[in-house]
């Protein structure tokens, strides 16, 4: 693995630079980042819908449940259209899904940590992570716009740090030849 990275250090560098740029753009332009994410989702939903309809048409004579794919396709196209014509609603629904997921997963993580108390060490960290998930879910539900922006910033910070680490890794593995690594 190390020799593979050494031979392709420049790809690791490009990956790091791309992640750093993405992170900085996401941090400094959260609204544009949100809009771009919504546009990508909208395009995906439209393509998914068209493909679902094509599959249903192709299978209408040979498959009894062809109409399920037709409904899937129509719903996907409608979701894509809503994304383009009413992006705010799409964003709020996405934030609501993330909030509910954070609440449920946080509660389940706390329950799991309590039940695993006798089996593992460090279950306190699981409880802390669960509490943080629950808090994030509450924040997103109470104030979805600011919560969504904060979520975008977290993604930006993560991407920027990931980029810096990969840039450093690229220059580190570049110094080694395959013989030095093995």
Query: Domain coordinates of the chain in residue numbers?
Result: 2-174
Q: Can you tell me the mean pLDDT for 52-58?
A: 93
| Largest Cα span, the chain | 63
Whole-structure pTM value? 0.62
The pLDDT tens digits of the residues spanning 85-123 come to 988 788 888 888 889 989 999 999 999 889 888 877 778
The pLDDT tens digits of the residues spanning 157-167 come to 999 999 999 99
How confident is the model at residue 78, as a pLDDT? 94
């Amino acid at each position: 693995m190390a020799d593979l990275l050494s031979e392709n250090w420049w790809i690791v560098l490009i990956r790091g630079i791309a992640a750093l740029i993405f992170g900085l753009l996401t941090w400094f332009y959260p609204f544009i980042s949100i809009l771009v994410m919504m546009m990508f989702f909208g395009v995906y939903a439209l393509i998914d819908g068209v493909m679902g309809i094509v599959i249903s048409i192709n299978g209408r004579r040979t498959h009894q449940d062809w109409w399920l794919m037709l409904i899937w396709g129509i719903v996907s196209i409608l979701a894509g259209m809503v994304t383009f014509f009413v992006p705010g609603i799409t964003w709020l629904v996405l934030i609501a899904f993330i909030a509910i997921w954070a609440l449920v997963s946080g509660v389940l993580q706390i329950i799991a940590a309590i039940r695993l108390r006798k089996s593992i060490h460090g279950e306190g960290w699981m409880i802390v992570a669960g509490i943080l998930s629950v808090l994030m879910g509450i924040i997103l539900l109470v104030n979805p716009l600011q919560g969504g922006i904060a979520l975008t910033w977290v993604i930006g910070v993560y991407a920027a740090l990931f980029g810096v680490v990969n840039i450093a890794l690229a220059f580190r593995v570049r110094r080694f030849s395959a013989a030095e690594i093995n």
